Structure 1
């Protein structure tokens, strides 16, 4: 850990306006001068979390020093805590400890904290979980068992060429900056089976085995958005930028079908790889993004479904609430439809 203060840093801090931030930096430097390195790191960490908006560039050496002290301390703290918890981890070797492990990563600043940020509707007191327990969705067994047939039907659709797909992002007028590159582009192309709550009969007829497998799907009926089922094709060397969904009452299912190397997916602080035929469920109201760094397209079947934590009465009320918003405006506003 970096030691001491040569007086130069104290001089820079002394030039700040009096206040809490200056007081924290002065206290941290005092701890360093007194050889109290852990206390210095803890105080620097508090200061770094309270940086005022406007700071003189001359303070950069102080901030760099503070970050270095905190990072060195984090490494020491991680080693200390790992040793401290080793016996307990051995004793509870068969228990699920992933929440504790994530908590420690957050404590050590190795993991960011993300929270649901839906663009339309937030239902309080639902579990704020990026990826949901696969066991809560036993009906996915049927989809996974049919994944080879579903993939074959998709390949036949794709044999018609790019015009078989439509752009997933097709904003009217000037799109949000994050979508400017993909707007009206088939680099992120889709083939809808269900769209905005309605079946696409012609497309379902082209994929009869997929349609049969979807009979087990517990549909999330929300005016203007669901149910939705779509083949999502992400072209080679293409990224879907970070974004959030519209409503945490629904969750999103991915059934990977074609996954070349170099593809990835992040939801909140968790990054996963797609594995063909292995479905997962996530809350898209957490910031999420996807990428295909390969030279081939990536294909996933995407569905929406109810959050299992909602009761049947709650689902009916949320459906009615969503419908009410749509009726009030004449149609569901764009911010309530979103890009999932």
Structure 2
């Protein structure tokens, strides 16, 4: 090992052990051997900066930059010296130079945002913070030293977005009043996306994705001629639900039940948990005869709707019971060829439902019809049980010929997976 390498190792070890005086002395020995050693120049510049010797710090850091031009870390350190010296223009140039060398340099992006904020330029600060948040890793992996700055930037971006969303809503208020409820919700969402307080929610299917179908979170009940007849049976269906709750509790099973060894992702807390349970009437296209026999009025009501029949997937129908203080995390369904219907039966205060951008509350006896291929989640923040009847129907935007294509493709896919030889 050369003498230069030996002293470099001594300096690096001393710095890692926070023995700053020893590290500084060792770096000076390195410079005595090689006056252009960039690591030693940088380290001594930072030592001088921490001691408030700004002229000395700037000289050493500029010398380091001359040897290693375009290093964004060195350039950013120079900007910090200029900041302490009160030289705002020079600080800005050094930050710009660090980002010219590396446009996704996260400390440089944050320094740019903080400079704009300090100069009273909130909109420019928000734009810079937004770029920093895009360049940053997911929040659990934020670097500890940068975490406070990223949290501050995130809060500032959120606050700005809320202000912009309110401004857009105010400007569009009178025009929005002329829209129907479906159109008004669409343009409220458009404003939220434009303001950055929401995001587009596409259709994401776990199995069959039908391309070019619009991702509509909630469908209007008036689009379905069977809704009134179904809703008129709410009381009878609820009576049957209460009967099976009293007499066939064993018929309720955990809604989420992954086999051991299966990645469960967001379902870890609910996997094999009765906090979210179901009493199945139809299960992936197969009738559960003993359960249907216990619920004849419910079975009769289901017979009047346009249930989706997709081999191995639909129909599904069940009583879905969500325990108090339970959250069903965001997730997506199997296919956008079908929609899902909720007929609320037992709904205490404090229960809510989100599909994409839209938040709804269940109202007993009033059906909610939605595309479950769009990210959705449910909450029961009450101290009582919530129960809804859930079943599948065809997406009304598909023709009869397209329904047949859905059946054909899903059947063929299952044949290939389970029957065709490797």
Which interval holds the TM-score relative to the shorter structure?
0.7 to 0.9
Distance 1:257 1:304 in 2: 17
Tell me which of 126, 131, 151 is aligned to 1:41: 126
Deviations 1:268-308 (A, max 9, x none): 23222111101011111122222323332211111011111
Is the helix fraction higher in 1 or 2?
A: 2
Question: Residues 56 and 136 from structure 1, CA distance in 2 versus in 1: closer, same or farther, beyond 3 angstroms?
Answer: same
Give 1:212-223 correspondences, 5 Å limit: 212-223=300-311
Shifted more, 178-187 versus 58-67: the winner is: 58-67
Are 2:161 and 1:85 equivalent residues in the alignment?
Answer: no
Equivalent position SS for 1:248: coil
Which residue of structure 2 aligns with residue 297 of structure 1? 385
Give the counterpart of 1:224 among 309, 312, 315: 312
Give the Å deviation of 1:128.
0.6
Select 2:136's aligned residue among 51, 59, 67.
51
Given that residues 217 and 358 in structure 2 are in contact (C-alpha distance below 8 angstroms), is that contact kept between their aligned partners in structure 1? Answer: yes
Q: Which residue of 2 aligns with 1:7?
A: 83
Q: Could you tell me whether the CA contact under 8 Å between 1:21 and 1:52 is conserved in 2?
A: no
Alpha carbons of 1:162 and 1:14: their partners in 2 closer, same or farther (altered >3 Å)?
Answer: farther
Q: Which residue of 2 aligns with 1:270?
A: 358
Cross-structure match for 2:409: 321
- Secondary structure of the structure 2 residue equivalent to 1:49: helix
Matched, 1:310 2:393: no
8 Å contact from structure 1 (residues 223, 326) kept in 2: no
Q: 1:75 to 1:223 in 2, by over 3 A?
A: closer
Q: What is the distance in 2 between the residues matched to 1:26 and 1:227? A: 56
The CA RMSD over aligned residues, in Å, is: 3.2
Give the TM-score taking structure 2 as reference length.
0.68
- Which of the residues 277, 282, 304 maps onto 1:189? 277
Find out whether 1:21 has 2:104 as its counterpart.
yes
1: distance between equivalents of 2:403 and 2:123? 50
Q: Measure the CA separation in 1 of the matches of 2:384 and 2:240.
A: 18
The structure, 1 or 2, with the larger RCO (C-alpha pairs under 8 Å, 6+ apart) is 1
Contact 2:95-2:111 at 8 Å conserved across structures: no
Deviations 1:175-219 (A, max 9, x none): 414334333333322222222212222222221211221221112
Once the two structures are TM-superposed, the CA of residue 144 in structure 1 deviates from its matched residue by 0.3
Which structure has the larger Rg over C-alpha atoms?
Answer: 2
Gaps of 5+ in 1: 332-340
